């Protein structure tokens, strides 16, 4: 797969053209609550695809212009989210210019502070989040997920809001997902060292590969 070269800072991203998994840093909340997710998804991308990928993730401030250097940015947290004006503006511009923001509720709780505030802030930034149909191409762009988003063990165990969420939500730009929002707590589901992936009968990070491939190809 040929990717357009990315103008990345040479100090952190020495190889142009490789995919760098970026985690969004925002002023409020605990943006760094899932530090192992980037490495785990990088491992999955390397394992299943031939995409040139950087071995470590990057952290990008939502308010900085560096945000536009990354095609996909991951945002998570437990605590209430209050975007600054600069962050809100950047998110809007990021979505309009082709970027994709993947937001995951680390609380897995629709009554939780993160869910309420994040949905509110995202709505203000990019518009309302609508239910993403389970037939969307993101569920088949690499691995096939005919039933929609894969469930997490936290959902099935009844933690958080005791709900098994059947759909993801998204803010669209045309037929492209600009913001993908999840209540499924993938931050916890994927938050383990990639070396421990060998203990799983089924790799639960495959949907993460779909998200990345979708973001890079749309």
Partner 1 sequence: MRPLDRVIRTRRALAAAIATRAALGSFGTVLLTAAFLTAALRGSGVATSSAVWLVAGLVGAVALALLVRPWSRLTVPRVALWIEERVPALQYALVTAVDPAGAWPGATFLEREIDRVSWDRVAARAIVRGLRWPAVAALGGLAAFLLSLRVGVASAVEHDGARPSVTTTSEREVPAPFARLVATVRSPAYAGGQVVRVESPASIAALVGSAVVLEAPGSGDGVTADAGDRSIPVQRVGAAWRATVTVETRPEVVRLRHGSAERLVALEPRPDSVPVVRLLFPARDTVIRAARGELRLSAQAHDDIGVATAAFEYIVSSGEGESFQFRSGTLGVRRADSARDVALDAPLDLDQLGLKPGDMVHLRAVARDGNSVSGPGAGASETRVLRVARAGEYDSIAVEGAPPPEADKSLISQRMLIMLTEALEKRRPTLAHETLVSESRQIARDQTRLRKRVGDIIFQRLGNNPTGEEGRGPDDALTSDSTAPAVDSVRRDSVRRAAARAGRTPREIVAADSADSARAALLRAASAATGSGDEILDFEGDETPVVAINRPLLEAYNAMWEASRELDQAETGRALPPMRRALAAIQRARQAERIYLRGKAPAVVVDLARVRLTGKEKGAASTRLPRAPMDPAAARRAARLAAAIELASRSPAAAIDSIVLLRVQSLDAAPQLAAALADALVAMRSGRDATTALARARRIADGSLRGAGGLGDWSGVW
**Which residue ranges make up the site for partner 1 (CB under 8 A)?**
32, 35-36, 38-39, 42-43, 46-47, 53, 55-56, 193-194
The nearer residue to partner 1, 17 or 98, going by C-beta atoms, is 17
CB of 23 to partner 1, least distance (A): 11
CB of 87 to partner 1, least distance (A): 22
The nearer residue to partner 1, 38 or 148, going by C-beta atoms, is 38
Residues forming a β-bridge with 132:
168
The nearer residue to partner 1, 127 or 194, going by C-beta atoms, is 194
What's the number of CA atoms in the CB half-sphere (13 Å) around residue 163?
A: 14
CB of 56 to partner 1, least distance (A): 5
Which ranges of the chain would DSSP assign to H, the alpha helix?
Answer: 37-48, 85-96, 113-126, 153-156, 186-189, 206-217
Residue 187 CA, chain-centre distance (Å), reads 9
Q: Which two tokens stand for residue 37?
A: 């997710």
The nearer residue to partner 1, 21 or 70, going by C-beta atoms, is 21
- For the purposes of burial, counting CB atoms within 10 Å of the CB of 167, is it exposed (0-12), middle (13-18) or buried (19 or more)? middle
CB of 172 to partner 1, least distance (A): 31
């Amino acid at each position: 797969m040929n990717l357009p070269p990315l103008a990345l800072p040479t100090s952190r991203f020495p190889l142009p053209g490789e995919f760098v998994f970026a985690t969004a840093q925002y002023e409020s909340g605990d943006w760094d609550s899932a530090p192992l997710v980037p490495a785990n998804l990088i491992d999955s991308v390397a394992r299943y695809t031939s995409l040139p990928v950087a071995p470590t993730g990057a952290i990008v401030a939502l308010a900085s212009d560096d945000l536009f250097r990354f095609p996909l940015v991951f945002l998570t947290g437990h605590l209430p989210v209050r975007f600054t004006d600069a962050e809100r503006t950047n998110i809007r511009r990021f979505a309009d210019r082709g970027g994709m923001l993947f937001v995951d509720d680390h609380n897995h709780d629709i009554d939780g502070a993160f869910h309420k505030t994040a949905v509110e802030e995202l709505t203000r930034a990019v518009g309302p989040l609508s239910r993403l149909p389970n037939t969307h191409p993101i569920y088949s762009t690499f691995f096939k997920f005919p039933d929609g988003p894969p469930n997490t063990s936290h959902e099935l165990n009844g933690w958080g809001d005791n709900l098994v969420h059947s759909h993801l939500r998204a803010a669209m730009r045309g037929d492209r997902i600009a913001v993908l929002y999840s209540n499924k707590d993938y931050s916890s589901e994927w938050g383990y060292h990639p070396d421990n992936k060998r203990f799983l009968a089924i790799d639960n990070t495959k949907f993460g590969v779909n998200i990345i491939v979708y973001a890079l190809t749309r």
